Structure 1
Amino acid sequence: MLPELATALTELDDLIDQAKQIIQTMDPAGLDYAPGAEMNSIGAIATHIAGSLKWYLGEVIAQRDMRRDRDAEFRARGKDARTLAQMLDEAREFAREILETITPAMLDETRQARTRTVIVRQGVMHIVAHTAQHVGQIEITAQLWKMKRDA
């Protein structure tokens, strides 16, 4: 694997591990808790992280036909910690598989990401940043749930 992609994968590994650690501390009600209108639960955010990693790296970067129902990711409810952790681990493994296929020449190729054209190198960095943003949301949502639960 190319060094910059190995670095991206290390970051994704760390982020997924952070999300899983938080998820393991949550009870079922906490996993489904959304702190407000138009806000998402930890279960929904984790489901979205897994879905977006697979879609972005699979469809945008690797140019594979990936089936995805993005809206359903945010409606996800009732998934236990084990299921969410497994989804994240599967997405991590998929990321590893895709990143291993990228050659030096591919890094500067362009891809279409919905309405945007991105360079592969930029796309890889985008999915790391996107994952980090959502792991931060998981952390804050867990803190809000624990404050509410313990009040």
Structure 2
Amino acid sequence: MAQGMEALRDGLRQALRDQHQVMRELIQGLDAEALNWSPGAEMNSIAVLYAHLLDAERYLLAAALGETLQRDREAAFRYQAPDATSLLQLIDSVEGESMARIDRLTEEDLATVRAPAGDRLNRRFPGAWWVLHAIGHNREHIGQAMLTRQLYEQRAR
């Protein structure tokens, strides 16, 4: 099974790297105004979407390993990006943490039911669920960020 576990780790690493690369490309050429623009009430800017999904990625992958992270989830929803470089640095930083967590992921971690302390939804799932949820959650918010950029670019037409 060691070969299968390493193949899974490789797949997870590649999926996250691909997602992070899409995120990097999406913000190319955007200034602070574009990054922090919200399409409307109760809608998030690209900067907020990135801050939230990266914070969640850290939390979800840590949960899969049984690690506890201190987290201020609401702070991500107040985030203002000074520039694209700041967001790129955040992506790079979280990617490094995520790769290190995936390197430590074991079969036991995938099978062990985890209930992270302080989880606002009181979830109890096997480690595999936490990992898969991180990938799906990222994809959801990357799609929102893509749409937000399109709306920003079309607002002046």
- What are the ranges of 5 or more consecutive residues in structure 2 without an aligned counterpart? none
Question: Cα deviations across residues 48-86 of structure 1 (Å, max 9, x unaligned)?
Answer: 12211112212x122223121111101111431011011
RMSD (CA atoms): 1.4
What TM-score, normalized by structure 1, do the two folds share? 0.92
Question: Superposition pairs for residues 18-37 of structure 1, below 5 Å?
Answer: 18-37=22-41
What TM-score, normalized by structure 2, do the two folds share? 0.89
Match of 2:125 in 1: 118
* Cα distance in structure 2, aligned partners of 1:5 and 1:109: 17
Match of 1:107 in 2: 110
Does the CA contact (< 8 Å) of 1:44 and 1:73 recur in 2? yes
- Pick from 70, 81, 85 the counterpart of residue 82 of structure 1: 85
**Displacement after TM superposition at 1:2 (Å):** 2.2
Question: Percent identity, aligned pairs only?
Answer: 28
Q: Which amino acid aligns with 1:86?
A: Q
Does the CA contact (< 8 Å) of 2:32 and 2:83 recur in 1? yes
- What are the ranges of 5 or more consecutive residues in structure 1 without an aligned counterpart? none
Write out the 4+ residue segments of structure 1 that deviate beyond 4 Å after TM superposition: none
Greater relative contact order (Cα 8 A, min sep 6): structure 1 or 2? 1
* Cα distance in structure 1, aligned partners of 2:6 and 2:113: 18
- Pick from 40, 44, 51 the counterpart of residue 47 of structure 1: 51
Instruction: Note if 1:135 corresponds to 2:142.
Output: yes
Match of 1:61 in 2: 64
Does the CA contact (< 8 Å) of 2:81 and 2:87 recur in 1? no
Q: Which amino acid aligns with 2:124?
A: T
